[in-house]
Amino acid sequence: MDNKPWLVSLAYYLASSRKYQKIKDFFYNLLENSHYKYNKFFNIFMIIVVLVSVTSLVIDVQYDIPNWLNNFDLYFVTIVFIIEYILRIWVYSDIKKIIIEEYEERIFFGKKLSLVRLYIKIFKDKWSYVSSLPSIIDLLAILPSYRGLRALRVLILFRAFKMLRYTKSLTGFLDVLKRKKTELLTLFTLAGFFIFIAGIMLYVIEGNKNPHIHNLFDAFYWALVTISTVGYGDIVPVTPEGRAVSMLIIATGVGLIAFITSVIVSAFSERISSLREEKVFQDVSKKRHLTVLCGYGLLGRLIAKGLEKEKIDFIVLDIDEKMTALADNDGYYALNADATKSKIFEEIGLKDNIAHVLCMTSDDIQNAFIAVNVKSLNQNIVVTARCSDSDVAKKLAFVKVDHIIMPEDIAGKMGVVYAGEPAAFEVLLSIIEHKHKTQIDEIHITAESYFDGKSIKEIDFNSLRLIFLGVVKANKEMGDFGSFIFNPQKEYILHGGDKLVCIGYQTAIANVKRMV
């Protein structure tokens, strides 16, 4: 018979409960995960609650606030803050894991489980959060709701501090300062030393001569105001020695401010790229059917303009920082990353977000590595790769790259067409460039749509104002999956997944896309 303590039994029960873990994950993401889709709405809600509560408490200092506003702050705001505080303590760590690990360790060594030791271990784990600065601010923000002691109203300031949790720009600023805490601490220590020395010097020199200096605190106050270059003018040295000290402290203050400014600016310079990347990841994570353009050379820039014109969501990846900066300046989502590595695609959301990857760098080998990398992670993603070498093209075909573009071959064939049939070339070029509002486009037929199950002869392309060129087959049972059939027979039956290739005005093509 298993004689586990009730606490251990409860821990094992919760560890096996998917519902419990799902609920805890939900609240953790809601409170802590900035990439979670509902986290933004929760932050906005909490900012509104904080602003309303601060406003009501400030008004209450001089005026009588309405009962409903007083009750709102006393009950609703307080309850929200308390619930949030408890939830943050709960999701901070996993108590059941601590209990199970301690119990199994005791069993392994044949020792008896000490509940007192276990409670102490749990308390220490939670105390590490409760004693942290954000948790202390949360607790102090609850206290102003207690009406019995109006002195607690001074803690209203901590409700304003709570907004640091919910505004990512402010937390980002604090992270920047935290990264440079050693340099800043050194500079502030140095400033404190100068303030201390200057204050004592002025007090010794003018303590009995300056009517505005009554004690040592006044001297320290003057030193702080002077070294910060604020200079209120309420305390002014009256002796030549005091003015000399003032000149030295002003020069020191200018130097310290310059140093502090340079430290903060350098910290932001180091952080600015990561902040931009975080913003790109947040925006891209909301997209679906995303196209990834790898390489922002001449061909990449032309493709980016085309994708933008077609209103296709895409992101540019380039290993060259200059190219990434250029794409960013052009107004596109861009990341400085090595597309041959799996990590970047996993961060973007390879399985959920990406529909198409374009390997368009100027290096065939790099394009091959990118294509293989993507296909090894997800075979369902459509990959189009640029290639100049026919041997590399064969290797790309072997790893089942969906489309291989050989710009030199295309340019050569276009040159032959231009030399032999210049008029036909001009027509083709006008269609490609969407001149005269005409374009060649593919129309995806979805299952159970208007065209699904119909034959070619049943579709009146003249009334649709389209010129029909052919069909890209998607029915695997009929063979030649993905092949293009030019001008198929009238009896050809269309199926869901097929693509009609047509030429027509943009409005006509858009109308047919709405039909399917």
Q: How confident is the model at residue 22 (pLDDT cuts 50, 70, 90)?
A: very high
Query: For domain 287-405, is the CATH number 3.40.50.150?
Result: no
CB 404 within 8 A of CB 396: yes
CATH 3.40.50.720, the chain: domain bounds: 287-405
pLDDT of residue 293: 92
CB 340 within 8 A of CB 369: yes
User: What's the DSSP call for residue 493?
Assistant: B
Lowest mean pLDDT among 15-19, 31-35, 68-72, 269-273: 269-273
CATH 3.30.70.1450, the chain: domain bounds: 419-515
Task: Record the pTM.
Answer: 0.55
pLDDT higher than 50, residue 184 = yes
CB 97 within 8 A of CB 16: no
pLDDT higher than 60, residue 146 = no
CB 273 within 8 A of CB 337: no
Compute the mean pLDDT over every residue in the chain, rounded to the nearest whole number. 82
Which fold would CATH assign to domain 181-273? Helix Hairpins (1.10.287)
User: Which tokens hold the place of 218?
Assistant: 């006044």
Lowest mean pLDDT among 206-210, 324-328, 481-485, 486-490: 481-485
pLDDT of residue 358: 92
pLDDT of residue 435: 65
* Better pLDDT: 104 or 434: 104
pLDDT higher than 60, residue 385 = yes
Mean local confidence (pLDDT), 451-479: 81
Lowest mean pLDDT among 102-106, 392-396, 424-428: 424-428
Mean local confidence (pLDDT), 32-47: 84
Lowest mean pLDDT among 13-22, 42-51, 60-69, 374-383: 60-69
- Determine what percent of the chain falls in helix, strand and coil, rounding each to the nearest 5: 65, 10, 25
pLDDT of residue 436: 64
Report how far residue 428's alpha carbon sits from residue 498's, in angstroms, rounded to the nearest whole number: 24
Lowest mean pLDDT among 75-79, 167-171, 315-319: 167-171
> End-to-end distance of the chain based on CA atoms, in angstroms?
65
pLDDT of residue 478: 45
Which fold would CATH assign to domain 419-515? Alpha-Beta Plaits (3.30.70)
Percent of the chain with pLDDT over 70: 91
Tell me whether strands 290-294 and 354-359 are parallel, antiparallel or unpaired. parallel
Which helix or strand (DSSP H or E) is residue 145 part of? none
Mean local confidence (pLDDT), 342-364: 82
Mean local confidence (pLDDT), 471-477: 70
Report how far residue 251's alpha carbon sits from residue 258's, in angstroms, rounded to the nearest whole number: 11
CATH 1.10.287.70, the chain: domain bounds: 181-273
pLDDT of residue 400: 83
Which helix or strand (DSSP H or E) is residue 452 part of? none
